[in-house]
Structure 1
């Protein structure tokens, strides 16, 4: 009897020892089934619903405006739609804000009528931006510069790399500053030494137009008027432009919103920078933060154009975006860069309030 009791006790112990492994196997099986179900559900959602197709197009548009554009085909949107997105990004509609290039006289600005304030107006005002859409949200800043003649393009004088925004500030004592031109950026390690396209600084042509880049010019005249369009550097200088650079796309030209009724997803959702001007001459710098869940996802070009149109902007163009987008005021960053380095990226030039 004693031997039988020991045998039964041994069997119970063995069964008890095996029981935890049984639960582990069941848990692993349940986990695998859960992941499989979620994966199948995700595939059905992304490829079997209109919302899923829209999300894939958003993703494709976003990837096409980054250094990782080679991933865009893996969103598996139809080839014709992918080609349409590429075409909209590479060749956006361009309108010249000034068309009288035959005259050597400076383009006339409309009279600026400003009622006398009770106290002197500040040179710079800052507006907070906080927008929530159905599926995303973004935050940023708008800087209003009430004397347009105080806005200048600063250009790096380094050969090995560009300058950080705070380095531009130290050299110029700029009150406000934002990034400007795009630049060669292989694999995200570009040092911003040389800008793409036109660069005009203090009336002198630093770089002529590069037709292969497909960029559009934005300039400011000695009178403080913004000019944008498909111009050569020589044409801009002839028009009385003091400073100019290139990027794309145009957002508003002669009061026309260039993105009205256009699909937002063509340019994706990104951090953004833009420069614009109101009818009374006020120049605005805009920076929208992005790529930061919990803070700000980013904005589409449609969002940016609408934001400016609502504030009475009549001329505006996008600057370089992504991790280059950043704004400083009185030497301090007032937007949150998506660049891993908190001081932002090395840049070939920047728009500044001097």
Structure 2
């Protein structure tokens, strides 16, 4: 027969047992997190892949509004300075007139050779290519738009004073059938309204803006005869060179057929959504937009990726436009890329490259 005191002791023990299991469970979680944290620190600071990952992170942060977080990747100061130098002072080459493409040696005529001329299939004004690339540690998707007639490409600019225009607003105002973002703009804390572009802006042969205090940007211009020019030019120089429309950004990707990023580390510019404008030797204008910051869809691309992507497609002149949440492409009034902006229509922009 149990005494009353033993019964009470057992009830108290039963009441304490659940708390014992909770304490053990919490201790197990704490030990697991501690182990994972230690393994993470060993990976990030004790392996080659970990160091590369921290460099990628630093480069990505340095090209955003949150560059002040870059030191928290705990890279040596010299490495951070090197990454910043590559971003703020990229190599610049002024594009040159390479002339028309050369042809091979002529084939001697043969008396028994009958030549039949087949009608050429007319080129479509706009063709769009899907981009889907996996680099192992990251992946990206996007679109490349080919415009066969460079004379149909123009810069459109906002006429608003309080803010810029969304890409679909530019389309509604101008009737553009293809369009991508162009200039960068003041964007404090990510709330910029795109009213004024950085750097030079030339629209229909008129200088709307010269280089402002945020100088050092590289110019990209399209001449009246449809040639893309890029380099360290002033607005006045560009107008004298016959440029009809121009904007500023950086870096150059391809100049005179030379891949400006070949053999260079990609980490300085990080992985981001990207926009680039280029031209093939036959005059075709190329718009490229890569989505980013969207795990499960597209992480983003490096500048090396953009230069390589365009070089593989025969582009001989190309330069990056503003990237990040500004990167977006529309075709026939519909978005065909996926913006990383919280707003599905993208961001307010000071200008854009459009096809008419």
Q: Distance in 2 between matches of 1:116 and 1:241?
A: 37
* C-alpha distance in 2 between matches for 1:178 and 1:116: 36
| Mapping for residues 145-156 of structure 1, pairs under 5 Å | 145-156=147-158
- Tell me the secondary structure at the aligned position of residue 207 of structure 2: strand
CA distance in 2, matches of 1:242, 1:140: 28
1:109–1:225 CA contact under 8 A, matched in 2: no
Alignment of 1:250-265 (within 5 A): 250-265=252-267
- Superposition map of 1:44-55 within 5 A: 44-55=42-53
Tell me the distance in 1 between the aligned counterparts of 2:13 and 2:270. 59
SS of the counterpart of 2:159? coil
In the alignment, which residue of structure 1 is the partner of 2:271? 269
Correspondent of 1:225 among 201, 224, 227: 227
Structure 2 gap segments, 5+ residues each: 104-116
Once residues 344 and 116 of structure 1 are traced to their aligned partners in structure 2, the CA distance between those partners, rounded to angstroms, is: 45
Q: Any idea what SS the aligned residue of 1:213 has?
A: coil
Q: What residue ranges of structure 1 are gaps of 5+ in the alignment?
A: 99-106
Aligned to 1:126: 128
User: Which deviations, in whole Å up to 9, do the C-alpha atoms of 1:108-144 show, x marking residues without a partner?
Assistant: 852699x976543211000000000020000000000
How far the C-alpha of 1:220 sits from its partner, in A, is: 0.3
Are 1:310 and 2:312 counterparts?
A: yes
The residue that corresponds to 2:343 in the other structure is 341
* Equivalent residue, structure 2, for 1:245: 247
Instruction: Work out whether 1:110 is the aligned partner of 2:107.
Output: no
Q: CA deviation at 1:12?
A: 2.0
Please show how residues 270-289 of structure 1 align to structure 2 within 5 Å.
270-289=272-291
TM-score after normalising by structure 1: 0.94
> What is the aligned length?
343
Question: 2:14, 2:92 → 1: CA distance?
Answer: 77
Matched, 1:175 2:173: no
2:111 is aligned to none
Distance 2:189 2:316 in 1: 36
**d(CA) in 1 for partners of 2:119, 2:88:** 45
Match of 1:189 among 191, 198, 216: 191
Q: CA deviation at 1:16?
A: 1.3
State the SS of the aligned residue for 2:354. Answer: strand
What are the Cα deviations for residues 160-181 of structure 1, in whole angstroms up to 9, with x where unaligned? 0000000000011101000000
- Which secondary structure does the structure 2 equivalent of 1:152 belong to? strand
Partner of 1:74: 72
1:68-125 CA distances to partner (integer Å, 9 max, x unpaired)?
1111111110111100000000000000003xxxxxxxx6852699x97654321100
CA contact under 8 A between 1:126 and 1:143: conserved in structure 2?
Answer: yes
User: Residue 13 of structure 1 is aligned with which of 11, 14, 34?
Assistant: 11
Root mean square deviation, CA, Å: 1.6
1:103 alignment counterpart: none
Query: 1:112, 1:281 within 8 Å by CA — same for their partners in 2?
Result: no
Q: In the TM superposition, what is the alpha-carbon distance from 1:20 to its structure 2 partner?
A: 0.5
Matched-pair contact (CA < 8 Å) for 1:220–1:241 = yes
SS, match of residue 132 in structure 2: strand
**Deviation of residue 40 (structure 1)?**
1.0
CA distance in 1, matches of 2:99, 2:218: 22
> 1:7-44 CA deviation, whole Å, 9 max, x = no partner?
33322222111110000000011111111111111111
Structure 1 residues 338-347 or 47-56, which shifts more?
47-56
